[in-house]
Chain A
Amino acid sequence: MSVMAMVFATIFNEDVKVFAVFLFAGMIPWNCFNSIVVQSSGAFINNEGLIKKIYLPKAVFPLSVSVGVIIDSLLSFVALFAIIIAVGGTFSTALFFIPFAYVLLFLFSLGVGLVLSIVTVFFRDMQYVLQIAMQGLFFLTPILYKSSALSGAVADFVALNPVVPYIELFRAPLTQGRVPDESVIYQAFVISLVAFLIGLGTLLSQERKIVFRL
């Protein structure tokens, strides 16, 4: 990630320190989202043996993976936070917003992960499709660049990307030392709620079929 910071800071002609903080603040939520989605997509098929032999509430599998990723992400947050402070990030009361941002991010990622974990049971090649799709989504999310750098059709398209508000939730406190705009929080809240409910609905309607398709 430091290499990434150096390379892209040069390309974008930005100060490495400023850019590193900017990049890391975007990478934290992205990595968390990406890992939860990719790992929970395999949650059921990786535990095929267990599911076929013993009854367990099906939600346990994607949930355990997601909680694992969140713990991982919190630890890497601490490490990156140290770097951010070292290269001149800002310390402010806005940082108290981060736990709240994590809750929203977790709900959103879990919702998406739940849907994909079930889709993967029905379509096994979804895992490979997903990896490529996530790579595409990475570049459609303003992580390496500022969303204001885009214009025209691409900007409109990126504005539809549901991951964007979450990047902003982390970036505002870490890079600018301020609580994110109310509209962004509101947007993220609605997306999290919708994603989580869709995930839960998919799980509840499909969980009885999973064992027959493994």
Chain B
Amino acid sequence: MSKITVENLSIKFRIYHDRSPSLKDYFANLFSGNRPAAYSDFWAVRDVSVEFRSGDRVGIVGHNGAGKSTLLKALCRVYESSQGKVRVDGRVAPLLEIGAGFHPEFTGRENIYLNGSILGYTDAQLRVIEPEVIAFAELEEFIDTPVKYYSTGMYMRLAFSLATAVHPDILVLDEIFAGGDAAFMERATARMHQMIDQANIMIMVSHDHRLVSSLCNRVIWMDHGRLVRDGAPDEVIPEYLGRGAHA
């Protein structure tokens, strides 16, 4: 049974007023008495408590900068909480940015192993899924070519096939991708639906309300880092859209 518990989660970002911190500036400011505040705090996620149980298909909606992606990244441990706790039971598959961590000089096959390890697959698992990944991406001809020579579509197909090769307990999606030709998109969408069906918990961020309504059974509305509403899609989405129209 997978379960995610988020208790009073807050994530604080520091916004630095200087472009990038340097030793030179640090010493310069050390000796000049009037030191301007080097940064201000920004709470991307503030005091969010929520629990996801098995069977939840959660859509997170909200304006740009509402803290949706930050919350997802906190679930995937990219960001550590400043306050509060995140407890995750189950294997998380983050599909935040597919293709991150591909090495351009390596061939497609080598990247399956490199990126696969980054995604948390074991070596034995990778050997099993390798032919399947290649077949799904339709890259049999080019799999031993360095990925820097791949077209954008080929690159995306390989990344998608690999990221979705093993069915995870918990699936985390950020703004579903585009890329690949029509035929591939169709198969990718089918596979996506299959993955969503098989995942224990699915959490996604999307601005496409129709997609959220069709895939999710629970919607969370975030605004300025706070959780505004949590409920069924047909209640929360109209309210969000209504509020959004006025704002």
The interface size of chain B toward A, counting residues with CB under 8 Å, comes to: 20
* Residues of chain B contacted by A146 (CB below 8 angstroms): none
Q: Which residue of B lies closest to A123 (CB)?
A: B23
| A211 contacts B78, C-beta separation under 8 Å | yes
Partner of A124, one of B14, B20, B77, B78: B20
A126 and B20 CA atoms in complex are apart in Å by 12
Q: In the complex, which residues of chain A have a beta carbon less than 8 angstroms from the beta carbon of B177?
A: none
**With a CB–CB cut-off of 8 A, which chain B residues contact A122?**
21
Q: Provide the bound-state CA to CA distance between A28 and B76, in Å.
A: 42
CB distance from B12 to the nearest CB of A (A): 8
The count of A-to-B residue pairs whose CB atoms sit within 8 angstroms is 46
State the Cβ distance, B104 to closest chain A Cβ, in Å.
12
- Mask for A14-53, Cβ within 8 A of B = 1, else 0? 0000000000000000000000000000000000011111
Residue numbers in A under 8 Å from B20 (CB-CB): 124
Say yes or no: is B34 at the interface (Cβ < 8 Å to chain A). no
Dominant secondary structure at the A interface:
helix
Tell yes or no: B108 within 8 A of A by CB: no
Q: Mark A50-79, 1 if CB is under 8 A from B, else 0.
A: 111111100000000000000000000000
Q: Which of A51, A54, A123, A129 contacts B21 (CB 8 A)?
A: A123
Query: Is B22's CB under 8 angstroms from A55's CB?
Result: no
Which of A54, A123, A125 makes the CB contact (< 8 A) with B78?
A54
In the bound assembly, the distance between CA atoms of A125 and B28 in angstroms comes to 14
A212 at interface by CB-CB < 8 Å: yes
Determine whether the beta carbon of B26 is less than 8 Å from that of A211. no
CB distance from A187 to the nearest CB of B (A): 30
Q: Knowing A49-B100, A123-B26 are in contact, say whether A55-B21 is a contact too (CB < 8 A).
A: no
Smallest distance from the beta carbon of B82 to chain A beta carbons, Å? 9
Shortest CB-to-CB span from B43 to chain A, Å, is: 13
Does any Cβ of A come within 8 Å of B79's Cβ? yes
- Cross-chain contact B23 with A55 (CB below 8 angstroms): no
A112–chain B nearest beta-carbon distance, Å? 17
Return A94 CB to nearest CB of chain B, in Å.
39
Whether B79 and A124, one on each chain, are in contact in the complex, defined by CB atoms closer than 8 angstroms, is no
Cβ-defined contact, B79 with A212, below 8 A: yes
Q: Tell me, rounded to whole Å, the shortest Cβ–Cβ distance linking B78 to chain A.
A: 5
Q: Are B22 and A212 in contact (CB under 8 A)?
A: no
Question: B79: nearest residue on chain A (CB-CB)?
Answer: A211
Q: Nearest-CB distance from A56 to chain B (Å)?
A: 6
Interface residues as binary, B61-84 with A (CB distance below 8 Å gives 1, 0 otherwise): 000000000000000111110000
Contacts of B80 in A (CB 8 A): 208, 211
Considering the complex, which residues of chain A in the window 156-214 have a beta carbon less than 8 Å from any beta carbon of chain B?
208, 211-213
Is B96 in contact with A54, judged by CB distance below 8 angstroms? yes
Q: A122-B21, A124-B22, A213-B21 given as contacts; is B79 within 8 A of A53 (CB)?
A: no
Kindly identify, within residues 10 to 47 of chain B, every residue whose CB is under 8 Å from any CB belonging to chain A. 13-14, 20-24, 26
Return 9 A-B CB contacts under 8 Å, by A number: A49-B100, A50-B101, A53-B78, A54-B76, A123-B23, A125-B22, A125-B24, A211-B79, A211-B80
Closest 8 CB pairs of A and B: A55-B77, A208-B80, A123-B23, A125-B22, A53-B100, A53-B97, A124-B20, A50-B101
Question: Which residues in A have some Cβ–Cβ distance to B below 8 Å?
Answer: 49-56, 122-126, 129, 208, 211-213
Interface residues of B (CB under 8 A from A): 13-14, 20-24, 26, 76-80, 94, 96-97, 100-101, 118-119
